[in-house]
């Protein structure tokens, strides 16, 4: 049946209405003479069916024998589609000219986008690119990326790196600006806490410790101060002024750190089940802009959505042209009662994901604590999920813009 449908789309088929008292006899005679009819549906005064174009004329003889009347409701398939186009030569010519114009226009650069700029203005970067030979209106094939990049780097010393790539009719310029900063070895800096924690170990390489083991620290609190206090050597302590020397503090402060996730779950869970009914809509995009949508409104109250896209004329057109298919599946909602233990398990899984999202890369939890939280609202349970780690919380903080140290 599938092959019949595919073949009929190529050769053409008709949707026909048959009317008369002997409708069933007419259909039986057609089957006995091996004339394929499909999608047969009863109607008030007859029936509807589909038949290949080549077999329709054989049905006229059977209609006379059974005193039935045939009426063509609709013509479907490639032959009728082509016939309509040949009758509308203006439309065909317009479509051809549109495709040719689309191809020609997609061969030029019409837009220039700048990415990665922080201190340099985007218009200034576009001006540099235009002077180097990359400006709107340029034929894509004549763009020499290496030459443009070299000229831009020579013209602007503040550019560390330049990259060019095409996205349809848009030229994207990616840049990395030069960052000038004082050498770290010559910067006066303290070590402060990056996050809250309970100190378990302090290692000072350069500087003076300001916290002790067992102390609770807050984010931003001073841990190792970037100063050295030389001891007096040639004079009594009362007669000599002690000068503290600014240095770049170095060391590690290890602390116990906690990451918490909290989530709730209902004792009544709502599930979604697809009924099998679905509809599709198609969106036609040119260079990222939707120009045509085909399909009817969504008739479902609850539904799931799946989206897929397919590029068209990719080898012919450099401008992105694609069809996006949106399929909507009808779903029915059903309620399921959970026990308290099941609801706590669901909430714990949700809270665990939230807590794990906060973990720094490379860190693993040394201890896990899960506790249920009593709530004032009925029908819900709450769970607190706590991960404990041991990590170095000391981060550098430059003092006074990085004044020179000794």
**In terms of domains, do 220 and 243 share one?**
yes
Residue 188: inside a domain: yes
Domain end, chosen from 177, 203, 223, is at: 177
Planar angle of CA 168, 129, 316, nearest 5 degrees: 20
Are 200 and 256 spatial neighbours (Cβ–Cβ below 8 Å)? yes
Are 362 and 294 in the same domain?
Answer: no
Per DSSP, the three-state class of 353 is helix
Domain span holding position 308? 272-332
Highest-pLDDT range among 256-260, 290-294, 376-380:
256-260
3-class secondary structure, 95: helix
* 39-45 mean pLDDT: 82
Does the pLDDT of residue 185 top 60, yes or no? no
**Res 239 pLDDT > 70:** no
Burial 20-47 (b: 16+ CB within 10 A, else e): bebbeebbebbeeeebebeeeeeeeebb
User: 332, 354, 383 — which closes off a domain?
Assistant: 332
Residue 346 confidence class, pLDDT cut points 50, 70, 90: very high
Of 183, 187, 182, 181, residue with least CA distance to 207: 187
Q: Give the Cα separation of 331 and 320 in Å (integer).
A: 34
Q: Poorest-confidence range of 196-200, 204-208, 287-291, 303-307?
A: 287-291
**Shared-domain flag, residues 262 and 322:** no
Report the pLDDT value the prediction gives residue 291, as an integer from 0 to 100: 81
207 and 300, same structural domain? Answer: no
Q: Is 227 exposed, middle or buried (0-12, 13-18, 19+ CB in 10 A)?
A: middle
Assign 315 a pLDDT band (cuts: 50, 70, 90): low
pLDDT in tens, 63-85: 888 888 888 888 888 777 777 66
**What's the whole-model pTM score?**
0.46
Query: Are 133 and 146 in the same domain?
Result: yes
Q: Indicate the pLDDT class of residue 234, thresholds 50, 70 and 90.
A: very low
Measured in Å, how far apart are the chain's first and last C-alpha atoms?
A: 89
Q: What is the CATH number of the domain that holds 58?
A: 3.30.70.340
In a domain, 91, yes or no: no
The answer to which of 75-79, 189-193, 233-237 has the lowest mean pLDDT is 233-237
Question: Do 193 and 53 share a structural domain?
Answer: no
How many percent of the chain have pLDDT more than 70? 88
């Amino acid at each position: 049946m599938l092959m019949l449908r595919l073949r009929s789309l190529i050769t053409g088929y008709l949707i026909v209405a048959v009317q008369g008292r002997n409708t069933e006899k007419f259909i039986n005679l057609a089957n006995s003479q091996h004339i394929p009819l499909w999608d047969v549906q009863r109607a008030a005064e007859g029936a509807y069916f589909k038949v290949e174009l080549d077999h329709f004329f054989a049905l006229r003889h059977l209609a006379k024998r059974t005193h039935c009347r045939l009426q063509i409701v609709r013509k479907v398939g490639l032959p009728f589609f082509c016939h309509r186009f040949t009758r509308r030569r203006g439309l065909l010519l317009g479509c051809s000219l549109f495709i040719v114009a689309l191809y020609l226009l997609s061969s030029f650069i019409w837009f220039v986008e700048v990415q990665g700029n922080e201190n340099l203005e985007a218009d200034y970067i576009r001006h540099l690119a235009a002077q180097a030979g990359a400006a709107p209106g340029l034929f894509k094939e004549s763009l020499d990326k290496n030459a443009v990049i070299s000229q831009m780097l020579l013209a602007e010393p503040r550019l560390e790196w330049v990259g060019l790539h095409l996205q349809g009719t848009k030229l994207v310029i990616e840049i990395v600006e030069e960052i000038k900063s004082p050498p770290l070895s010559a910067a006066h800096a303290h070590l402060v806490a990056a996050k809250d924690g309970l100190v378990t170990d302090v290692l000072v390489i350069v500087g003076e410790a300001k916290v002790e083991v067992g102390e609770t620290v807050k984010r931003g609190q001073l841990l190792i101060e970037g100063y050295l206090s030389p001891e007096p050597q040639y004079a009594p302590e009362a007669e000599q002024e002690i000068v503290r020397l600014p240095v770049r503090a170095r060391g590690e402060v290890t602390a116990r750190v906690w990451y918490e996730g909290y989530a709730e779950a209902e004792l009544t869970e709502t599930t979604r089940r697809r009924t099998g009914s679905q509809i599709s809509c198609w969106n036609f995009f040119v260079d990222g802009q939707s120009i045509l949508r085909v399909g009817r409104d969504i008739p479902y109250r609850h539904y799931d959505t799946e989206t897929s896209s397919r590029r068209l004329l990719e080898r012919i057109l450099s401008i992105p042209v694609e069809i996006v298919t949106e399929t909507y599946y009808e779903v029915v909602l059903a309620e399921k009662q959970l026990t308290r233990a099941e609801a706590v398990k669901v909430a714990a899984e949700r809270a665990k994901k939230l807590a794990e999202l906060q973990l720094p890369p490379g860190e693993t939890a040394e201890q896990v604590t899960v506790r249920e939280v009593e709530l004032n609202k009925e029908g819900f349970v709450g769970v607190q999920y706590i991960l404990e780690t041991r990590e170095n919380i000391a981060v550098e903080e430059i003092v006074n813009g990085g004044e020179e140290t000794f």
